[in-house]
Structures are given as structure tokens and as C-alpha cells.
Amino acid sequence: MAAAPGVRRSELGEALRACRNAFIGVGVMSCMINLLYLTGSLFMLEVYDRVLPSRSVPTLIGLIILASGLYVAQGVLDLIRGRILGRVGTSLDEALNARVFDTVVRLPLVAGGRGEGLQPLRDLDNIRSFLGGMGPGAFFDLPWLPFYLAICFAFHVLIGVTALIGAIILVTLTVMTEFLSRDPARQALGLAARRNDLAATSRRNAEVLVSMGMSGRMSRRWADANQNYLDGNQRASDVAGGLGAIAKVMRMMLQSAVLAVGAYLVIHQEATAGIIIAGSILSARALAPVDLAIAHWKSFIAARQSWHRLTHLLQSMPVRATPTLLQTPSSRLSVEAISILPPGDQRVIVQDVTFALTAGNGLGVIGPSGSGKSSLVRALVGVWQPARGKVRIDGAALDQWSSDALGRYIGYLPQDVELFAGSVAQNISRFDPEATSDAIIAAAKEAGVHEMIIKMREGYDTQVGEQGTALSAGQAQRVGLARALYGNPFLIVLDEPNSNLDTEGDEALTRAIRGARERGAIVVVVAHRPIGIEAVDQLLVLRDGRMQAFGPKETVLAQVLQPRVTAPSPIKIVSDGGVAKP
């Protein structure tokens, strides 16, 4: 069915539509399976109405052989149907897992701290698990309920009416399960997310908790969060489990009721003994999908909520079109009156910053804490999008590049360096599968860490551990610097690159900056220590998110460090060294 003009189809829906042939096959198998479910009823009917009155052993043997063959066919079809549904879930995961992972990576850059963390991946797991479970099979069997009821009516009207009353009761319980379990399930999910966030935060800050005696207090917070989650989860389970138990009891009562009605009809010679047993089995089979659906309703609710969340998230973060590949940048970085808002926030952190750098320039960015230095450099590398203004490389705005293409020309060392599980070489090469040893070693030497690395137990093959825990903070920062320099990028942005370095590391950093500038790179360094700006020739001063000065380093330092008798006016140092005051 074609989508209406202007209506964007859900990516999840498209992924399921790609499996429509599999669903058609499941539907055909469900038809055959439900017809084969009549085997037990018809077998009992024939045994009681034909075999017992005639006392014919050959007839009994023939019925047994026929029923056995039908049961085997039913089991094989049921097995194949389950495997097909499981593979549908796997196919959905394979089609969307890369897209969902990309969304998880981009989400903090768009929503900031209000992002859902790893929830999108859990949502995809929920949908896949539900499709691979017994729940979908029950929903495929539900449409056959009227068929079984019709056969019950064919046996006798009273048997049909009894089965119909039971079906109405169970369907009512199903509807109640839907309405009563929706809110508890949603609340339990939110409580689980808060509990998991607390555990992850505590794990990342284990040293702080232990060293300052906070572990006991955090344990109490965890116990409270965990208790809230258990209470919420218990409420959801109580609703689904309680209604499921009621449905199970009602189904057993219905089966006995059909037996009783059948016995009444036999007493009045309106039915045979075979109809008693066949009607009981058939009515139980008719309501089995309803019972199974109620039993799996909790997983169905979770999968449906995951579906809605994931659909909304993917629609809010559409696939980025791949732009035309531009030439390798080589000459200029320009910042045009950019203003920056943190992701998911409305506070302007950096406002109306303008400057330009050419190949070989080194820019130092200084200013008090909270002045917007880190926010500015995040915009320079394309991590945060400016709310206003443009950052351009060789005249092209950063949004004209794909992140993968632009990343080859950018080296970025963030303030908080975190390495990935893998070897030192893999981290330096940014996990490039085509990286050569020469390129990796060249980046390490440029960063001044080659000697440090070869002294490690396994050299470049040393495993850094999860989050780089096998290295000290200084070692991790120096390896991060080598990663930023890998591939000779045109723009290198270093956010407080010497915060964990010793004297030797500071000297290596200075040499690396000078070496990068000599080969024509633009280097931007955020620094709080004078050694950080030793190798730059330009300086930018930020205060309260506004540019206070920009120009040659010596001139700007002379203006910034001069004694102040009165409150200074904002100063801008132009490229020729002159001073312009408003």
C-alpha cells in the first residue's frame, strides 16, 4: 500500500514489510496448524462413536496411525513457524541495529543529558525477543477462535453457546489486561532506567565513592531505587499474572462446563458420547490462544512501548543524506558569528564569536572556567551544531560534510580522554581496519609517545582495557594525542591537552603542536597553563561566552595582562596587530 503524500513511513514498519513473505508463510502455516488441531477432537469422536460400539481393533489401529501422522505434521509445522518468527526478529535487528547504534551515539549531541542512553538498543532487543517468542503465534491463532466455535455449534447449539460464553469472558479479560497493565508496565520501565543510570554512575565514580566514604550512602540510594523498581515491576506482574490465573481457571471451568452440557445432552439422547469429549477438547483449543495471549501480554506491552519509542526516536533523528565528497581541506578555518547552545538546553553559552585562521596557524583559547572554551571547540569539530552562524573549512560549512568524511581531516582531544577496549595501536589508528604500522608509529612519534609505548609489556599491542583503565591518566592523554594526530589531519583541536601531563609530556605536546603547524595544519589549543599556548601564534580570550580579544599572542597577552584601573571594554585585536575598541 502506497504511503500518502507527505507521510513518512516508519523505519520499523519498513523493516517488517520487508519480511511480509515470511509473515504470509506464517499465516499459511497457522491455517494448516489450526486445521490439524482438530485431530484430537475428531480422533476422540471416532473412538467413542465408531471404535467402541463396533469393537474393531483394525479401525482403532488405523485411527492411531492416521492421528500420529497428523500430530507429527502439526509439530513440524509449529516448529517451522516458531523458527520463521525468530528469524523475522533477527532480520529486523540486522536491518536496524546499525541505525539504532548511530542514533545512540548521536543522541547525547542532540538531546544532551536528557537522552535515553542505551534505551534504544534495549527497545530493539525487546521487539526482537517478542517476535522470536510464543506471543506472535498466539496472535496468529486468535482469528481461528470463531472457526472452532462454529464447529462447537455444529455439534450442538448448547455446546456452542457454552463455548461462546467462555470466549466472551476470556476476551473481556484480555481487554482488561491491556488497560490495567499499560500504566504499571510504563512506570516499571521508567524505574528500571533510573536504577540502571544510578548503577552506571556509581560504577564510573567508584574511586570517589570509596575514597570519600560515599559508598554506604550510595548503597542506600541504590536500595531505594531498586525497591521502587521491584515494587513497580511487581505491580505490573501482579496485574498480568492475576488476570492470567483467572483466565486459566475460567478455561478449565469452561472445559468442565462443556463436559457437563455434553453429558446432559447424552442423557436426553441429543448427542453421542464422542461429542462430549470432542466438544470439551475443541472448546479448550478454541480458547487456548486467548489464554496464551494473556500469559504473554506483559512482553507484548513492553514490545509495543518499545516500538512506539523507537519509531518516535528514529523519526526525530532521520538518516543523514550523504553529501557530495569535497576536496581535502588545506587552507583556511573561518568562524562566522557563531552562538552555541548546549544540546537539549536553551542557554546561550557562546555568543557571536568570529575569527579566521589559515594553514600553519596555532590558536590558543584562554579564559576563566565556564567561559565557553570547551563549547567553542566542540562546535569547531562539528560535535555541536551552532544555533547561529557557521564554522567553515576552506569555505565549506561543516554541515556540508558527512561525519565520516570530515573526521579524516580533524584531530580532536577532548577534555576528558576515554580510550576504547582494544590495543594501543587500534586506539591510535581510530580502529581503522586499513591502518598501516608506519602510519600508527608516525602518529605516536609525532605525539612523542613512541618511546613510552614500546616500553609497555606488549608495546603497541598492549590492551588498554575497558575505558582505558590499564593506562594512567597521563598515558591515556598522550595516546589520545597520538590518536588526534593520526593521519595528518588538517584541523587539530586540543582541549586542555596537558591537564594530566608531566614535564616530559608538556615538552612532547609543544613539539607536536609545532610539528603539526610546520606541515600546514591548523591547531587550536584550550589551555589554563602557559605551557599549553607556548607553541601557538594566535590567542583568543573568552569571558562569559563572548570573545574579549583575538589576534597575535604577544599583543593579546600584553592587553590581557596589563594592570586594570577601570573595568575594561571588550577588546578585539585585528590581524595586523592594531586594537579596535567599541
Q: What is the pLDDT of residues 331-388, one digit of tens each?
A: 899 999 999 988 877 788 899 999 999 999 999 999 888 888 989 999 999 888 898 9
Stretch 489-509: mean pLDDT, rounded? Answer: 87
CA angle 203, 205, 209 (to 5 degrees): 100
pLDDT per residue as tens digits for the range 295-340: 777 788 888 888 888 888 888 777 777 777 788 888 899 999 999 9
* Residue 28 to residue 31: CA distance in whole angstroms: 5
- Residue 19 is predicted with a pLDDT of 86
Confidence of residue 15 (pLDDT cuts 50, 70, 90): confident
What are φ and ψ of residue 449, in 5° steps? -115, 5
Report the pLDDT value the prediction gives residue 320, as an integer from 0 to 100.
74
Least confident of 184-198, 391-405, 455-469, 554-568: 554-568
Distance CA 563, CA 191 (A): 56
Query: Given this model, what pLDDT does residue 8 score?
Result: 52
Question: Of all residues in the chain, what percent carry a pLDDT higher than 70?
Answer: 92
Are 4 and 306 a contacting pair, CB within 8 Å? no
Is the distance from CB of 120 to CB of 100 less than 8 angstroms? yes
Is residue 148 within 8 A of residue 283, CB to CB? The reply is: yes
Q: What is the pTM of this model?
A: 0.71
pLDDT (0 to 100) of residue 522: 94
Instruction: Count Cβ atoms below 10 Å from residue 28 Cβ, excluding itself.
Output: 12
Nearest to 148 by CA among 240, 54, 350, 283: 283
pLDDT of residue 6: 42
Average pLDDT over every residue of 416-432: 89
| Domain ranges for the chain | 11-316, 332-409+534-582
Q: What is the pLDDT of residue 294?
A: 73
* pLDDT computed for residue 9 by the predictor: 64
Reported confidence tier of residue 579, pLDDT bands at 50, 70, 90: very low
- Asked whether 557 and 533 are in contact (CB, 8 A), the reply is no
Mention every residue, 6+ apart, whose C-beta is less than 8 A from residue 483.
411, 413, 427, 428, 429, 430, 443
Average pLDDT, integer, range 212-226: 79
Model pLDDT for residues 144-176, shown as the tens digit of each residue: 888 888 888 888 888 888 888 888 887 787 777
Give the other-Cβ count within 10 Å of 458's Cβ: 11
Place of cell 562569559: 544
11-316 architecture in CATH? Up-down Bundle (1.20)
State the pLDDT at residue 578: 38
Burial of 20 (0-12, 13-18, 19+ CB in 10 A): exposed
What strands lie across the sheet with 491-495, from one edge to the other? 410-413, 491-495, 522-526, 362-366, 538-543, 546-552
Question: pLDDT per residue over 223-265, tens digit each?
Answer: 888 888 888 778 777 777 777 777 778 777 887 888 888 888 8
The DSSP output letter for 423 is: B
Q: Is the pLDDT of residue 197 over 80?
A: no
> Does 3.30.750.24 match the CATH number of domain 332-409+534-582?
no
Asked if pLDDT for residue 577 goes beyond 50, the answer is: no
pLDDT for residue 485? 93
Give the model confidence (pLDDT) of 45-77 as tens digits.
888 888 888 888 889 999 999 999 999 999 999
Model confidence at 1: pLDDT above 70: no
pLDDT class for 193, splitting at 50, 70, 90? confident
Q: Do domains 11-316 and 332-409+534-582 have the same CATH topology?
A: no
For residue 562, name the pLDDT band (cuts at 50, 70, 90). low
Q: Are 45 and 274 in contact (CB under 8 A)?
A: yes
Buried b (16+ CB within 10 A) or exposed e, 48-59: bbebeeeeeeee
Q: Band of the pLDDT at 468, cuts 50, 70, 90? A: low
Of 19, 26, 39, 186, which Cα lies nearest the Cα of 119? 186
- pLDDT higher for 205 or 39? 39
Q: Are 449 and 486 in contact (CB under 8 A)?
A: no
Tell me the three state secondary structure of residue 12.
helix
Q: What is the pLDDT of residue 428?
A: 92
Q: Answer whether residue 89 shows pLDDT above 80.
A: yes
Average pLDDT, the chain: 83
The pLDDT confidence band at residue 7, using thresholds 50, 70 and 90, is very low
Residue with the larger pLDDT of the pair 63 and 276? 63
